[in-house]
Structure 1
Amino acid sequence: MVRPLRSMPGLAVQGDGRHEVARALPEETPVAIVMDGSTVAVMMTTPGDLEDFALGFALTEGLISSRSEVADFEIVEHAAGIEARFWLTGDRSAALKARRRAMLGPVGCGLCGIDSLEQALRPVPLVGASALRIAAGEVARATDALRALQPLHDQTRAVHAAGFLRPGAGVVLAREDVGRHNALDKLIGAMARAGTDPRCGAFVLTSRVSVEMVQKTAMAGCPVLIAVSAPTARALRIAEDAGITLAAFARAGGFDLYAHPERITTGASDVA
């Protein structure tokens, strides 16, 4: 299996001169998502937790609706990259054609290669009302808690993470990748494999909140999204329409609260 990081030589240039260094750097590898023999997407990703990534991607992109539709799965390495091969139950050909994407591009762009504007702003499910409530203190501490579950970041300082916050238990699961959307797909896939219900907590991100991050959150059915950085204006509008609570700038003991704030219990009269 391709390693998720490599030690690479370089020169460190400082005020007192320069010296040779060896840095641990995250790897990027093309991973093809293959459904019943047909490649539906190629993503540049960190080659770790690939079954989680492939399953999460298939779920959040609507290629499958549940894990039960996967009859078999295998990871196959090639000289040029890695194939994540799904064999599906039933006939999913029509659905795959409708959602077909060819996405070979930089990891910073989760929408590279889509073939229509409609695909970029595809409708997402409504996350329904729930009894979920998360204390403001847990939201404020969420990104710090996630930070403690990022071993690849500790070694490279070059990857994003996505975690799952369960009220009263903290961040109970995390996944890392050079791409923020890949990290979220890995998390969603890991939760699906473990039978963890996304409706019972919040996703926590080390990144900004783009449109695709909200789309994936809605597809997973998670009602709360917490991020260390800002949302885009369109991402915020989609979160509002999808029924998702969005907490941004969650760091240094505070956060900004947008869209459906009723799930965060702060005791402030203007939030309830």
Structure 2
Amino acid sequence: MSNPAAVDQAFRRVAAEGAVTDVTRAIANEMPIAIECNGIAYAVLMASPDAIEDLAYGFALGERLIDGTDDIRGIDLHPVATGIVARLTLARRVADRIGARVRHRSSDASCGLCGVETLDQALRPLPPAARWDGEDDAVFRAYHALCELQPLNAATGAVHGAAACARDGTIGLVREDVGRHNAFDKLIGAMLRSGQGWDGGFALLTSRCSYELVEKAVLAGCPMLATISAPTQLAVTRAAEAGLALRTLVRGDALLAT
């Protein structure tokens, strides 16, 4: 796969006093990533063009198309003129889920949340979250370590990071992407593909805490979700319903616990 996650771009730098200079800097690459499941076009994501296999696995789990890696029988990546197509082959056991979810997604796209059935689908019940019994010191330890583990953001200043942290706050795995959802999907997918569990640890994300991230965390079996920005009300509500521990507005010296 030849598409880099960052590319060099020429700019004119204009200073406040009026001086203009030519500069070149790295900027984050972003392109359409099409997800196909058993030959059916399912979704198009705007994402950084790296770790696409991880992205597809994590996305499929978050969409409840699969329950684990055994439900994916194969994945093929196909570069096209406008982006990348990721073609997933799902097991027969879960194949019926594809059509049902495609119909739901089409309904959402055409008219938004338009009726009781659609609203029920948008906020489907979540399974009970794994229990987290760690200490908040671990969150601060991970927060201070994460910056040095985000090379793409260091180069571009334009991407989110998602980190899998051990119970003591040691960071074991990081994925980056222009989209916060994509970064988390990549992290979850990488863990699925490698057989890595949370083992009482938690996820730390460089983003606000939206309800979609809460749902992804619960479905991935993550015991606790920490984010550096604030949560939405729906995120707090959904986390409480599932029993997911949240730590938000994480800074070097304080955080919000729910």
Cα distance in 1 between the residues matched to 2:122 and 2:193: 27
Between 1:80-89 and 1:201-210, the stretch displaced more is 80-89
Between 1:157-166 and 1:192-201, the stretch displaced more is 192-201
Cα distance in 2 between the residues matched to 1:102 and 1:76: 26
**Which residue among 17, 35, 38 is the counterpart of 1:36?**
38
Q: TM-score, normalised by structure 2?
A: 0.90
User: Offset of 1:101 from its aligned partner?
Assistant: 6.9
What residue is the counterpart of 1:226 in the other structure?
226
User: Offset of 1:40 from its aligned partner?
Assistant: 0.8
Gaps of 5+ in 1: 105-110, 259-272
Q: Which amino acid aligns with 1:56?
A: G
Asked if the contact 2:55/2:186 (under 8 Å) is kept, the reply is yes
**Which residue among 70, 86, 89 is the counterpart of 1:84?**
86
User: Offset of 1:210 from its aligned partner?
Assistant: 0.5
Q: Identity of counterpart residues, as a percentage?
A: 39
**Which residue among 90, 95, 98 is the counterpart of 2:97?**
95
SS of residue paired to 1:200: coil
Q: Which amino acid aligns with 1:46?
A: S
1:164 equivalenced with 2:164 (yes/no): yes
Q: CA 1:10–1:112 in 2, change beyond 3 Å: closer, same or farther?
A: farther
Q: Which ranges of 4 or more aligned residues in structure 1 deviate by more than 3 Å?
A: 101-104, 111-119
Q: Which amino acid aligns with 1:229?
A: S
Asked if the contact 2:169/2:201 (under 8 Å) is kept, the reply is no
TM-superposition CA deviations, 1:126-167 (whole Å, max 9, x none) = 114x4x432221112322222121000000000001001102
User: Offset of 1:199 from its aligned partner?
Assistant: 5.1
Cα distance in 1 between the residues matched to 2:64 and 2:155: 34
What residue is the counterpart of 1:189 in the other structure?
189
What residue is the counterpart of 1:6 in the other structure?
7
Asked if the contact 2:166/2:198 (under 8 Å) is kept, the reply is no
Cα distance in 2 between the residues matched to 1:235 and 1:243: 12
| Aligned length, in residue pairs | 250
Cα distance in 1 between the residues matched to 2:53 and 2:212: 21
Asked if the contact 2:138/2:169 (under 8 Å) is kept, the reply is no
Task: Specify which structure has the higher proportion of helix.
Answer: 2
What residue is the counterpart of 2:134 in the other structure?
134
Cα distance in 2 between the residues matched to 1:221 and 1:206: 20
Q: Which amino acid aligns with 2:134?
A: I
